[in-house]
Amino acid sequence: MRRSDGVNFHGAITAYQAGATGQGILAGVIDDGIDEDSPEFAGRISPFSADVAGSRGINGEGNHGTNVAQVLLGAKNDAGTMGIAYNAGLLVLRADRPGSCATENPGTEESGCQFAGSAIAAALDRAVTAGARVVNISLGGDDPPGATLRSAVQRATAAGVIIILSAGNEGDTTANGNDPNNPGRFAQGMRDAGGGLVIIVGSVDRNGANSPFSNRAGTYSASYLSALGEGVCCAYENGVLKTQGNFVFLLNGTSFAAPQVAGAVALLAQAFPNLSSPQIVQLLYQSARDAGTAGEDAVFGRGILDIARAFQPMGPTTLAGTATAVDLGSALGMLGGPMGDAGAGRAGTVTGLVTDGFGRAFNVDFGQSLALRRPDFKLSGAIGGLVRQQSAASRATALSLVTAPGAGGGDALAGLSFHDAARARTLAASVVTRLDAQTRIGFAAGRGTGGLLAGERGDSGHAMLIGDGAHEGLGFAAQPGIAAMLRRRVAGGHHVTLLMEDGWVSGARWQDDPVLRYRSGRDSRYQRIGAAWDGRFGAARAALGGSWLRESDSLLGARLGPVFGSGGATSLVGDASIGIELADGWNLSGAWRQMWTLPDRGGLVAGGTLWSSAFSLDVARTALLRPGDRAALRFAQPMRVARGGIDLMLPVAHDYASGRTDFGRRSYNLAPTGRELVVETSYAVPLFGGDLVANSWWRKDPGHIAALPDDRGAALRFTMGF
């Protein structure tokens, strides 16, 4: 196959990978016969083959027809070369006038063979009778076809036969009144007679440059394709490659460019039986590789034959069997943070069918169709910007307010006079008040229930910048709206808390990036309702909690998009934590969160379950180096899908004859291959009336994306209260 220049140059391997070889398609070759005993055609010569110009049989005197046929459909037999459609049937239509092939120059189109228009006409009529889908005519001449031949062309194209013609080899001469900037007169007349089902083919070399000998497209550019016709391996003689010493004879001429296109027709006709002949022709034009002047031009016509592109979806695509549009040029949705790089390295595991603008069905890997979400690199948000936290408390009530300058509010430290408050932007606010000796109630805006509850329990965040505790937030990008808490002491140091939270799952932005792609999307609402217990047992403290989480238009932060059904999800959340206060100011604590998530059914989503978890382990000490300092070490894994995913009902089989599409259940594994692990240290020391805080961290597989480099860094910040 390495010798088969056209196969590689035109990307026919893509067609072979799709199962197309020309099997079952009959291709006619009107020429000077073939070498009937050649192994290149063994077992594939149609019984309708004939000498339409006499009674000599199909075994030709020369090699021109043999070489044309082997370029079109020579066998894949581990010998010599192979043709574009190596399994197609061969209809040999010998049309040379008896006695005219007195001389033959292998490797060129120059010979003494002559072809009467009536013989070519008879060959075309026989091709229609035999059921040929394509006929190759690598012939030329100074005279246009006569009335008999024009009528036969009209009959053949009316029957759906696609006719492929060579453009001619007078591109470097004007002798005999030849116009090198247009196809030969014979090709022009045949195209005029046959209309849209006649393709004229010119030659290019292996670099895609126009062959000097090739007649160019000229005014027939709309019906002209270019194909490899220069330096084509190899000339055949007596069934084997023609050689001289260590050298083989190469083929040059538009005669050998034309069968490359005829072979492409056979591949498409077999692979996509739904295609009509006009559709096949249009597909070849539409998929051609542009060359020369942009678009259709007078040299290369529609462009250079590109079989690989012809075997890719063209035009608008829809989910097979439905009217649902599927844009294959962009991701169909975006994964949630806990899903990381789900789908990476699992190509072909969630395949379904789409149909293109020609009604052809193609397998699409929906497991690769959701883009990765950008990991949350938190450093700039944690230490950047001018924000002010103000708080006040009495025996019964605590108030907290976090603000940032608004438009015109350049002084973040200004007092909250009426004028300043009007210009400032409130980021978060909370109030907690006592109802009676055992009961407290709290409300928050821009802050979740986790923050309210942590404040009541006295939990410490240990001034971490990167590694979140297991119970912080929801485990995916979200912005709390409002939250409420009702907390009651039930016995000694034991409390029961009821929680409610409402907010938005944050949108993201798409960008052109080979690994991460984003675009803006509307926010999805979420609601969370739960209850928690916490208590102390001497030096130990423990907490348990459970909650119901509802996402209206997302799945653990993932946006599945309209193709999947844009559904929401319901999760059950379980939390557990324990902490122990040791001697000398040491403190050990750990937290675990487990989530069970059920996606909404609808659209393509037929069910599924996700199991996700997060954990954090802390070691902390006060007065490590000096009185008043605080040091901590955290090891954490943010929320990550451990196993499970969604079940999709996808089109898996399409029958061209009936138009029926069958659907099957496919599981989309949303567990990532990457696993983010964070090790972070913090050290805070009182200084000049404020706190100097130093952090350092190492973050493996940021965002649970294995392809991303580790995130390492350090930060130093100074905070002061006013």
Express each pLDDT in 653-662 by its tens digit: 999 989 899 9
Q: What is the pLDDT of residue 418?
A: 37
Minimal CA–CA distance to 77: which of 20, 21, 15? 21
Express each pLDDT in 441-458 by its tens digit: 999 888 888 878 887 877
Rounded to whole angstroms, what are the CA distances from 458 to 133, 270, 462, 541, 549?
Answer: 81, 73, 12, 11, 25
Express each pLDDT in 349-407 by its tens digit: 789 999 999 999 999 988 888 888 887 666 555 555 555 666 666 777 767 766 665 54
Minimal CA–CA distance to 683: which of 606, 613, 629? 629
How would you list the strands of the sheet with 351-355, edge to edge? 318-319, 351-355, 361-365
Rounded to a whole number of angstroms, the distance between the first and last alpha carbons of the chain is: 80
Considering the domain boundaries, does residue 374 fall inside one?
no
Residue 520 binned pLDDT confidence (cut-offs 50, 70, 90): very low
Q: Are residues 655 and 552 in the same domain?
A: yes
Q: Is the pLDDT of residue 412 over 70?
A: no
Q: Are residues 384 and 296 in the same domain?
A: no
Task: Reply yes or no: is the peptide bond before residue 113 cis, omega within 30 of 0.
Answer: no
Q: What mean pLDDT do residues 588-610 have?
A: 95
- Ranges 102-111, 572-581, 614-623: which has the least confidence: 102-111
Q: Are residues 424 and 301 in the same domain?
A: no
Residue 426 binned pLDDT confidence (cut-offs 50, 70, 90): low
**Domain tally, the chain:** 2
Q: What is the pLDDT of residue 529?
A: 97
Distance CA 311, CA 267 (A): 9
Rounded to whole angstroms, what are the CA distances from 44 to 37, 126, 270, 273, 300?
Answer: 12, 17, 16, 20, 33
Q: What mean pLDDT do residues 539-554 have?
A: 94
Distance CA 555, CA 105 (A): 70
Considering the domain boundaries, does residue 602 fall inside one?
yes
Q: What mean pLDDT do residues 534-545 have?
A: 93
Average pLDDT, the chain: 87
Q: Are residues 276 and 395 in the same domain?
A: no
Q: Are residues 152 and 293 in the same domain?
A: yes
Distance CA 379, CA 496 (A): 35
Q: Are residues 475 and 564 in the same domain?
A: yes
Q: What percent of the chain has pLDDT over 70?
A: 87
Considering the domain boundaries, does residue 9 fall inside one?
yes
Residue that terminates a domain, selected from 257, 278, 310: 310
Q: What is the pLDDT of residue 102?
A: 67
Q: Is the pLDDT of residue 165 over 90?
A: yes
Considering the domain boundaries, does residue 295 fall inside one?
yes
CATH of the domain at 474: 2.40.160
Three-state DSSP at 30 gives: strand
Minimal CA–CA distance to 501: which of 525, 533, 477? 525
Q: What mean pLDDT do residues 649-670 have?
A: 93
Q: Is the pLDDT of residue 488 over 80?
A: yes
Q: What is the pLDDT of residue 406?
A: 53
Q: What mean pLDDT do residues 194-201 have?
A: 96
Distance CA 683, CA 691 (A): 10
Considering the domain boundaries, does residue 582 fall inside one?
yes
Considering the domain boundaries, does residue 331 fall inside one?
no
Q: What is the pLDDT of residue 18?
A: 93
Please report, as a single letter, which amino acid is at residue 720: M
Distance CA 183, CA 171 (A): 9
Q: Are residues 224 and 305 in the same domain?
A: yes
Three-state DSSP at 43 gives: coil
Q: Are residues 299 and 396 in the same domain?
A: no
Q: Are residues 192 and 273 in the same domain?
A: yes
- Ranges 25-34, 42-51, 72-81, 258-267: which has the least confidence: 72-81
Three-state DSSP at 267 gives: helix
Q: Is the pLDDT of residue 620 over 80?
A: yes
- Which residues fall within 8 angstroms of residue 142, CB to CB, at 6 or more apart? 176, 177, 178, 184, 185, 186
Minimal CA–CA distance to 693: which of 383, 472, 455? 383
Residue that terminates a domain, selected from 254, 281, 310: 310
Q: What mean pLDDT do residues 294-314 have?
A: 96
Express each pLDDT in 217-249 by its tens digit: 999 999 999 999 998 887 777 767 777 666 677
Q: What is the pLDDT of residue 460?
A: 73
Instruction: Please state the pTM of the whole predicted model.
Output: 0.79
- Which residues fall within 8 angstroms of residue 639, CB to CB, at 6 or more apart? 337, 338, 474, 475, 476, 556, 593, 595, 612, 613, 614
Q: What is the pLDDT of residue 414?
A: 37
Q: What is the pLDDT of residue 377?
A: 61
Considering the domain boundaries, does residue 705 fall inside one?
no
Q: Are residues 591 and 510 in the same domain?
A: yes
The rounded Cα 156 to chain-centroid distance in angstroms is 41
Q: What is the pLDDT of residue 514?
A: 41
CATH of the domain at 202: 3.40.50.200
Residue that terminates a domain, selected from 310, 337, 359: 310
Q: Is the pLDDT of residue 128 over 80?
A: yes
Please report, as a single letter, which amino acid is at residue 87: N
Express each pLDDT in 690-713 by its tens digit: 889 999 999 999 999 999 999 999
Q: What is the pLDDT of residue 454?
A: 81
Please report, as a single letter, which amino acid is at residue 298: A
DSSP string, 535-586: EEETTEEEEEEEEEEEESS-BTTBB-HHHHT---EEEEEEEEEEEEE-GGGE
| Residue 560 or 120, more confident | 120
Q: Are residues 305 and 439 in the same domain?
A: no
Residue 68: its H or E element? helix 64-73
Provide the residue range defining the domain that includes 103. Answer: 5-310
Q: Other C-beta atoms within 10 Å of 288: how many? A: 23
What are the structure tokens assigned to 348, written together? Answer: 């072909």
Q: What is the pLDDT of residue 560?
A: 85
Q: What is the pLDDT of residue 388?
A: 61
Considering the domain boundaries, does residue 291 fall inside one?
yes
Q: Are residues 306 and 435 in the same domain?
A: no
Q: Is the pLDDT of residue 41 over 50?
A: yes
Looking at the DSSP bridge assignments, the partners of residue 696 are: 681, 714
Q: Other C-beta atoms within 10 Å of 503: how many? A: 21
Q: What is the pLDDT of residue 448?
A: 85
